[in-house]
Amino acid sequence: MEQEKRARHGEADTGDLARKELEAGPLSAARGQPDPLPDRLERIVRGDRTLIRILETARQSHLPQWRLVAGCIYQTIWNSLTGRPAGTGINDYDLIYFDETDLSEEAERAAENGLRDGIADLPLPLEVRNQARVHLWFEEYFGLPYPPLASADEAITRYASTTHAVGIRLTHDDRLDVFAPFGLQDIFSMTVRPNPVLANKATHERKAGRAKQIWPELTVVPWEAPPLLDK
């Protein structure tokens, strides 16, 4: 598997905003006001049979700290908002987990194959990556230092754009557990905003450029723009 595909799960030390969100918990509402966006996300996700099949299969895998993340989620939302067919623009389904007891590529590949075997008829590839080993290859590929992660959720705080930073999983009592360290407003407003926790401008611009071609309704915030301070 080419390194670029692997890199999408460890795109980008977390900034103050991300650290505060990690401490406060996912989707803490600004100024104590109720946030309707998680409910909207859940309705959209539960209406997509492919996402639900992946979530149900991953739940049975017992991979530690697993989440389905990034493009297949926010792009599904964009398709719902714009009336495009399900699956438009989605290249694959990205699933992360965190197992520091085995950092080998072989164990990572076995985890991926196990999940793929459980849902062999997916319309697109399922990519599974152990976030405990991202620091072993990230700097060689990107030329940027990447401190070891403490959890799978911390990896999400380092993605190149705030829009990318969303992960979900189904709990054993069938709740949808959502982690979005920068909130969901950028996703639902179709705004691709840089997350400058790493100097990963190239990834932000490349992915934003592709997305703009598929969803021209998007607003792309330049990398040099001031960071988001308030949701």
- pLDDT band (50, 70, 90) for residue 152: very high
Side chain identity at residue 21, one-letter code: E
Tell me the mean pLDDT in the region 131-150. Answer: 90
Tell me the mean pLDDT in the region 22-36. Answer: 48
Contact 118, 60 (CB under 8 A): yes
Tell me the mean pLDDT in the region 152-171. Answer: 96
What separation, in Å, do the N-terminal and C-terminal C-alpha atoms of the chain show? 37
- pLDDT band (50, 70, 90) for residue 28: very low
Q: Which residues pair with 225 in a beta bridge?
A: none
Q: Packing angle between helix 37-46 and helix 71-82, nearest 10 degrees?
A: 90
